[in-house]
Chain A
Amino acid sequence: GAGVSQTPSNKVTEKGKYVELRCDPISGHTALYWYRQSLGQGPEFLIYFQGTGAADDSGLPNDRFFAVRPEGSVSTLKIQRTERGDSAVYLCASSSETDTQYFGPGTRLTVL
């Protein structure tokens, strides 16, 4: 079956612009996670959804970051007024009751 997919694979934007990053989880997975990975670092947790609701958003760095999962499947990570420091690879993962998190290929965001 299909794995986790993320679109776009690459996004280049200018400082101050708004961006949306999309994640399609594995079908039937109720849990969905967003992480951010900077160069040379491990991924850092941003937010976790169980179904439609955000169960833990403690990793969102500030109020410019927001994520939704309105129907409990696809999720969108939204970043307002982008800054150069937001440049990173944004990873999405999903899981079922087996706990193993399956990751997508990521979206590489570059803010000029």
Chain B
Amino acid sequence: KQEVTQIPAALSVPEGENLVLNCSFTDSAIYNLQWFRQDPGKGLTSLLLIQSSQREQTSGRLNASLDKSSGRSTLYIAASQPGDSATYLCAVRLGGGGNKLTFGTGTQLKVEL
């Protein structure tokens, strides 16, 4: 059974700092990995999707990397802003035709002024 772990569970940083969020998964036979952002009381917003054949994806100040063989992904946020405060979730989709996502428990990020 695929298990997804995210560390740290919570993180507080001053504005402007670069930071890294970690995600690990136990079954490396994934189809893709997706990073989401969730604001309190809201649904999930997709940030980046990395296919299993890719090593990284970038969008603005966000960069996500994938090392499938070691079962790890990182989300790098450059020059953090208070508006980045949210919970960040990673989710993996297994290969073999299944479409469901298996989520981690998330990292709650707070960027302080």
Q: Give residues in A with beta carbon < 8 Å to B.
A: 4, 31, 33, 35, 40-45, 48, 50, 55-56, 58-59, 91, 93, 95, 99-106
Q: Are B103 and A33 in contact (CB under 8 A)?
A: no
Q: Which residues of A contact B4 (CB under 8 A)?
A: 42
Selected A-B contacts with CB under 8 Å, 17 pairs: A42-B89, A42-B91, A42-B105, A44-B103, A45-B100, A45-B102, A48-B99, A50-B99, A58-B100, A91-B43, A99-B31, A100-B34, A101-B34, A101-B101, A103-B43, A103-B44, A106-B42
Shortest C-beta distance, A103 to chain B (Å), equals 4
Known contacts A42-B4, A45-B102; A104 and B43 CB within 8 A of each other: yes
Tally of contact residues, B, Cβ under 8 A: 23
Say whether B18 faces chain A, with CB atoms less than 8 Å apart.
no
A43 touches B103 (CB 8 A): yes
- Decide if B62 is an interface residue (CB 8 Å cutoff): no
Given the contacts A42-B4, A42-B106, A99-B93, A59 and B100 also touching, CB distance less than 8 Å:
yes
Q: In the complex, A95 Cα to B99 Cα: how many Å?
A: 10
Main secondary structure of the interface of B (DSSP, over half): strand
B31 to chain A: closest residue by CB: A99
Q: Which residues of B contact A (CB under 8 A)?
A: 4, 31-32, 34, 36, 42-46, 49, 89, 91, 93, 98-106
